[in-house]
Amino acid sequence: CGVFGIWGHPEASNLTYLGLHALQHRGQEAAGIVSSDGTSLHLHKELGLVTDVFDAGKLAKLPGSTAIGHVRYSTAGGRGIKNTQPFAVDCGGKPLAIAHNGNLVNAESARRTLEGQGAIFFSSSDTEVVLHLVARQPERELTERIRLALEQVHGAYSLLFLSDDQLIGVRDPRGFRPLILGKLKGAWILASETCALDLIEAEYVREIEPGEMVVIDRNGVKSLHPFAPAPAARCVFEHVYFARPDSLVFGRSVYESRTRQGAILAKEHPVEADLVIPCPDSGVPAAIGYAEASGIPFGMGIVRSHYVGRTFIEPTQQIRHFGVKLKLNALRRVLEGKRVVVVDDSIVRGTTSRKVVKMLRAAGAKEIHMRISSPPTSWPCYYGVDTPTRSELISASHSVEEIAKYITADTLGYLSLEGLYESVGSDGKGFCDACFSGKYPVSFPVEEEKRLLR
């Protein structure tokens, strides 16, 4: 998911709309904005893309100088209007809204406990658990209530809270998901990625630290570190696939990471070929890096329709099947008779790669060498990226040779984990790489582990 919040601008909801538009790649199922006019909150949310959900009339009904917004892609809970965010409630006589990027690993047990105490949930989302916990704290100060509530949940959260007079951003102690602070003249902004700042010509100030809480109100910006420190576990996959290449994530250019992934991949898995092509769009920067480092010319062998969302995000296997063709088409003029290196960011189920290889072969490619700019995805993510169960991940049960055979490529090479870390300028500390290594930085309750790792 993507989150965006702004404090202290007369066009708060319009700017939030633009911010969400820039963050659309982080979630295409639903979008919502809640604004505060200083007394009450105003909310509009629907299923669909940002441009479909809002128009000038709807934005005009979101007055005030403070707002938060959310674009959703379901990890916990499920689809449906009842799970769309932001959630806005009345919390002890004061309005409170919440927007969440991430995934809580103990949401189900926390929810059962709350239900046992009489709580009534209106959604199946893990985020609602946080709202209930905040509402139950006896303290008066909102920041203190949030701190006490978040001490009871584990996992990944970059959260925005909006009350009648405060905008609060919180990042979990590991810092799985990104969150940044920006500035637009006198207004303050919190957002998932810096590309949202670029669009509205705001200035990047800094990354919100793992475990930090930022409180923005009429006294300015206050930074708190309310949790016990933990080793950071920033999601390395943001730099492989999830974030937009024109963003800074964790203080680092995503484009630079991706071109380096391609360059290192060329060193780790060289091959004699005539052409390097990306699987668009996610494979583009890595393919540029591969071509540059190998000296093999870069070309556009696959054209992508921009009127289809990310195929991975669509619901059923049947639609996904259909989705690949809907989205990608091979360019015979470029491919005919060539030995081609195809660069993509990841293989999850293997569906995309298999279809792509067949399509390239049918368009006349002579040899097809698949190169993947991350290590094999062998483990599901429980921290906010919607990977399928372990049994559906092809590399959980197949060797690289077997996968090459399945996708019908002549050769297949994955970036090593060391190579991935080199690409993000790290020695391997401070990041989460659980989907590649199986080393989960935050463990889950036993009964949830059984369900999750099936």
Smallest gap from Cβ 244 to ligand SF4, in A, equals 16
Partner that binds at residue 235, options ligand 5GP, Mg ion, ligand SF4, none, CB closer than 5 to 8 Å by kind: ligand SF4
For residue 281, cis peptide bond before it (omega within 30 degrees of 0): yes
Asked whether residue 282 is marked as a ligand-binding residue, the answer is yes
| Binding test (CB under 6 A) with ligand SF4, winner from 7, 161, 188, 237 | 237
Which residues ranging from 270 to 299 are in contact with Mg ion (CB under 5 A)?
282
Is 435 annotated as contributing to ligand binding?
yes
8 A C-beta contact, residue 5 and residue 15: no
351 binds, among ligand 5GP, ligand SF4, Mg ion, none (CB under 5 to 8 A by kind): ligand 5GP
Nearer to ligand 5GP, 142 or 235 (CB): 235
Binding mask 405-444 for ligand SF4 (x = CB under 6 A): ---------------------------xxxx---------
Residue type, 79: R
Residue 263's binding partner out of ligand SF4, ligand 5GP, Mg ion, none, with CB under 5 to 8 Å set by partner kind:
none
Which among 15-23, 117-125, 260-268, 381-389 is the span making contact with ligand 5GP, rule CB under 6 A? 381-389
Task: Please work out the total of residues on this chain that contact ligand SF4, with binding judged by CB under 6 A.
Answer: 11
Q: Is there binding between residue 160 and ligand SF4 (CB under 6 A)?
A: no
Q: Which two tokens stand for residue 351?
A: 């569906």
Report the partner that residue 236 touches, choosing among ligand 5GP, ligand SF4, Mg ion, none (CB closer than 5 to 8 A by kind).
Answer: ligand SF4
195 in active site: no
Any known ligand binding at 432? yes
Output the smallest distance, CB 279 to Mg ion, in A: 6
The least distance separating ligand 5GP from the CB of residue 47, rounded to whole angstroms, comes to 19
Q: Is 381 annotated as a binding residue?
A: yes
Alpha-carbon gap, residue 14 to 121, rounded angstroms? 31
User: Is 195 marked as a binding-site residue?
Assistant: no
Q: Please, which residue, 179 or 235, has the CB nearer to ligand SF4?
A: 235
Decide if residue 395 touches ligand 5GP (CB under 6 A). Answer: no
Residue 236 binds ligand SF4 (CB under 6 A): yes
**Which CB, 166 or 282, lies closer to Mg ion?**
282
- Residue 377 binds Mg ion, judged by CB under 5 A: no
Residues in contact with ligand 5GP, shown as a per-residue x/- string from 239 to 268 under the rule CB under 6 A: --x---------------------------
433 is an interface residue for ligand 5GP by CB under 6 A: no
C-alpha to C-alpha distances, 327 to 340, 390, 435, nearest whole angstrom = 20, 26, 26
Choose the one of Mg ion, ligand SF4, ligand 5GP, none that binds residue 83, judging by a C-beta under 5 to 8 angstroms depending on kind: none
- Binding-site member from 256, 386, 410, 449 for ligand 5GP (CB under 6 A): 386
Q: Which residues are annotated as a binding site for [4Fe-4S] cluster?
A: 235, 381, 432, 435
What is the binding site for ligand 5GP (CB under 6 A)?
241, 279, 282, 310, 312, 344-353, 377, 385-387
Instruction: Please list the active-site residues.
Output: 1
